[in-house]
Amino acid sequence: MTPLAPYAVRRESRCEFTSLRGLRYHVRQWGDASLVTPDCPPLVMVHGWMDVGASFQFAVDELDALEGPKRWIIAPDWRGFGLTEAPPTDSYWFPDYLGDLDALLDQLISGLPADQPIDLLGHSMGGNVVMMYGGIRPQRIRRLVNLEGFGQPASTPAQAPARLLEWLDELKTPAQLSSYTSVDGVARRLQKTNPLLPSDRAAWLAAHWSRPDAEGAWQILGDPAHKRVNPYLYRKEEAMACWAAIEAPLLWIEGDRSDTARWWGTRYSKAEFHERLSVVRRVEKDVLSPAGHMLHHDQPAALARRLKAFLDV
């Protein structure tokens, strides 16, 4: 089988490691603080579950094509993903992502004026993080972007015993991720999950999404413990209280082929999500086509055009 030719990057990034809350964190950056102006703040992009900060490269390149390298863009790998260290834990807790983001901003933005806000974008799990953070520290955000961060189905206290039992049972079995014989195998797995992903982007992503081990098998750069169920139920009312406290304008973007029923069946629909979104004061909505959940892979040029229009105020 002919190896897939990788995508040709247009705007190069640099990678740095920093200490955040006791972990060695990997942070990818395009540009630096010298690009920051009151009208062009840092743009922080946070990825979703089982993804990495490099995932935004295609959208960054398309933004660069539209406006040149005018923005300082920052994309960390969340704890236990990519090249960021995994904590010594058997479970991951959502509030830790909020703590990591807060610490990252404290550190990276420390040389800027105290009143300098940021633009904040999140995809999927990262979209859920930025929605919460936007309401917790509203003064820190100038513009907020949520790419397919739907939240989760509402829960009831009666679900707690079964959820906790599921978690206890999962702790008894080692969590595992699949390995692959080659980086091409990883790329083709990405395309199987997302048929809209072009081969060159799949080949480039695969090399950032995985690494070969000592035996030559390609391992996904994600702590298998991420697969374990969270013992704590999603509390819709608490999330809505945070969303309602968002002060920044919000841009919501989804893919026309994204199917929430694949994740939640009939327990939580897109219609219910949009009802929840009504608690946010200022919302712009867009749909990219054709695009699925990984819309920043499927339609990076269309995404970049929408981001530019929203961020250039």
pLDDT of 109 over the 90 cut: no
| Per-residue confidence (pLDDT) for residue 1, from 0 to 100 | 64
Q: Is residue 214 part of a domain?
A: no
Q: Is residue 209 part of a domain?
A: no
Q: Is residue 67 part of a domain?
A: yes
Q: Is residue 290 part of a domain?
A: yes
| Per-residue confidence (pLDDT) for residue 4, from 0 to 100 | 79
The mean pLDDT of 94-119, rounded to a whole number, is 92
Q: Is residue 184 part of a domain?
A: no
pLDDT of 291 over the 70 cut: yes
CA separation, residue 242 to residues 17, 130, 149, 150, 207 (Å): 31, 10, 14, 14, 37
50-60 residue pLDDT tens: 999 999 999 99
Name the helix (H) or strand (E) containing 277.
helix 270-277
How many Å apart are CA 154 and CA 183, to the nearest integer?
A: 39
> What stretches of the chain adopt beta strand conformation (E)?
14-20, 23-30, 43-46, 73-76, 118-123, 141-147, 179-180, 210-212, 218-220, 250-255, 283-288
> How many whole angstroms from its chain centre is CA 91?
19
Are 66 and 101 within 8 A, CB to CB? Answer: no
Query: Among residues 115, 125, 117, which one has the least CA distance to residue 142?
Result: 117
Place of tokens 């479970």: 91
What is the radius of gyration, based on Cα positions, of the chain? 19
Q: At residue 249, what is the residue type?
A: P
Q: Is residue 211 part of a domain?
A: no
Residue 274 sits in which domain range?
A: 14-156+231-311
Q: Is residue 204 part of a domain?
A: no
| Per-residue confidence (pLDDT) for residue 126, from 0 to 100 | 98
CA torsion angle 300 274 120 84 (round to 10): -80
pLDDT, averaged across the chain: 96
CA separation, residue 88 to residues 1, 47, 126 (Å): 40, 22, 22
What is the SS3 assignment for 144-189? EEEECCCCCCCCCHHHHHHHHHHHHHHHCCCCCCCEECCHHHHHHH
How many Å apart are CA 26 and CA 17, to the nearest integer?
A: 5
The mean pLDDT of 75-96, rounded to a whole number, is 97
How many Å apart are CA 291 and CA 195, to the nearest integer?
A: 10
pLDDT of 263 over the 70 cut: yes
How many Å apart are CA 126 and CA 120, to the nearest integer?
A: 10
Q: What's the pTM?
A: 0.97
Are 47 and 54 within 8 A, CB to CB? Answer: no
CATH number at residue 149: 3.40.50.1820
Q: Look at the chain and report how many structural domains it folds into.
A: 1
Q: Of the ranges 19-28, 103-112, 130-139, which one carries the lowest mean pLDDT score?
A: 103-112
| Per-residue confidence (pLDDT) for residue 114, from 0 to 100 | 79
Q: Is residue 286 part of a domain?
A: yes
41-83 residue pLDDT tens: 999 999 999 999 999 999 999 999 999 999 999 999 999 999 9
pLDDT of 99 over the 70 cut: yes
The mean pLDDT of 110-136, rounded to a whole number, is 94
Q: Cβ atoms within 10 A of the Cβ of 256, count?
A: 13
227-259 residue pLDDT tens: 999 999 999 999 999 999 999 999 999 999 999
| Per-residue confidence (pLDDT) for residue 57, from 0 to 100 | 98
| Per-residue confidence (pLDDT) for residue 65, from 0 to 100 | 97
Q: Is the peptide bond before 117 cis (omega within 30 degrees of 0)?
A: no
User: CA angle at residue 52 from 147 to 10, to 5 degrees?
Assistant: 85
